Structure 1
Amino acid sequence: MSAMRPLLAALALITALVGTGCGFQLRGVRAPVDLPFGTIFIALPTTSALHAQLKRSIEATDKTRVVGDAKSAQVTLTIIGDSQAKNVLSLDTSGKVREFQLVRTLAFRVHDAAGRDWLPPAQIVVRRDMYFSDQQILAKEAEEAQLWRDMQGDLAYQMMRRLAASRPPAEAAVPVD
């Protein structure tokens, strides 16, 4: 047993070094972002899962809070378009689907009460490939639902990064005579 200890310690050390050297990071552990505004209104139904996820992420910043009225918000996040697609990627020799691609596209903009853009219209596209099997229909349905949830999490994270990059609109330059 004592001869195994150095071997296990060396294996643990190698695993730790390789894991950190490649940039490995536990899922869900993401650096917080600083948002350049104090209040935001999210123009989505409050019952939607994306609204709830964005609200949690925004309020975790400690500097910014989500308000329930666009008039009392410094900026408004408006969703221009949101679509989901399930595309066939490949078929087997008998013509049955072997692989799908799930695609979620979200277009949005961030503006103030005067309509000036803090972030011009932008689009985020998230894709996941999924193998399909007729023998595992229930498992594949559960996998697809999990992939859609993961994609929404990635979408919310990318939106947070874009929100952090937004800037107040520049005032119109006054010409000098």
Structure 2
Amino acid sequence: MTRLMQWTFAVLVMVGLSACGFHLRGLSGPARPLPFTALFVSLENVTLGDALLTTLRRDERVQLWPQAKGAEAVLRVYGEASARDILTINRGGKVNEYQLTYRVSAELLKNGERYGAPMTIVVRREMGYSDKEILGKEQEEAMLWNDMRRDAAEQIVTRLSFLTPDMPQPVGTAHAPSQP
């Protein structure tokens, strides 16, 4: 009898979740359409390229162009920084945890003008450390950096779907506030 009740409860939960529009993250493109259909991605000395292109290819509504000419929009990824900082130290003065920080900057250009505000994505992860477990730490750190790049790529695509052309301005010009 309890087995039947558990099964019925599980079915009701699944039906409830599917009725509310729930879907697992990362299994499809962004829920909102991107503000363009043809995109050229300009990667300026960043290691984010593969993760970003993979994420963009998941959205079937967007075509990636091999050159900026002919593309409706240009995604310019122009800044990248990585840092590994000491997070905690044990009583003996040895490192106990590190904090890995990955920062990337990007902007979207449509018709040569900035579309929406420039984006800065910051992803952080904590990594435990011990002198006794040194062998696998390099591989763990490399896996964390790759995961952080994938996370940053997902965040860029999600933010692109929410961009609005509030005040497009030409690239390289400062927008001064107007005087009353």
- Map of 2:148 onto structure 1: 151
Q: Which has the higher helix share?
A: 1
Contact 1:108–1:121 (Cα < 8 Å) also in 2: yes
How far has the Cα of 1:119 moved from its partner?
Answer: 2.6
User: Percent of pairs identical after alignment?
Assistant: 32
Residue type of the partner of 2:151? D
What CA distance in whole angstroms lies between the structure 1 residues aligned with 2:142 and 2:105? 22
Unpaired runs of 5+ residues, structure 1, are 173-177
- The offset of 1:158, in angstroms, is 0.4
Distance 1:153 1:104 in 2: 11
Q: Assess if the C-alpha contact under 8 Å between 1:117 and 1:169 holds in 2.
A: no
1:52 aligns with 2:14: no
1:120 partner amino acid: A
The letter of the residue matching 1:157 is E
TM-score (norm 2): 0.74
Task: Rate the CA distance shift 1:96–1:169 in 2: closer, same or farther, 3 A.
Answer: same
Amino acid at match of 1:43: S
Alignment root-mean-square deviation, CA = 3.2
Superposition TM-score, scaled by structure 1 size: 0.75
User: Are 2:52 and 1:64 equivalent residues in the alignment?
Assistant: no
The answer (yes or no) to whether the contact 2:100–2:126 under 8 Å persists in 1 is yes
Unaligned runs of 5+ in 2: 170-180
Cα pair 2:40 2:68 within 8 Å, conserved: yes
Q: Which string of whole-angstrom CA distances, capped at 9 and with x for unpartnered residues, describes residues 142-171 of structure 1?
A: 211111111111101100111111234668
Matches within 5 A, 1:37-48: 37-44=36-43
List per-residue Cα deviations over 1:97-144 (Å, max 9, x = no partner).
100000001111111242x11132121100011110111112222211
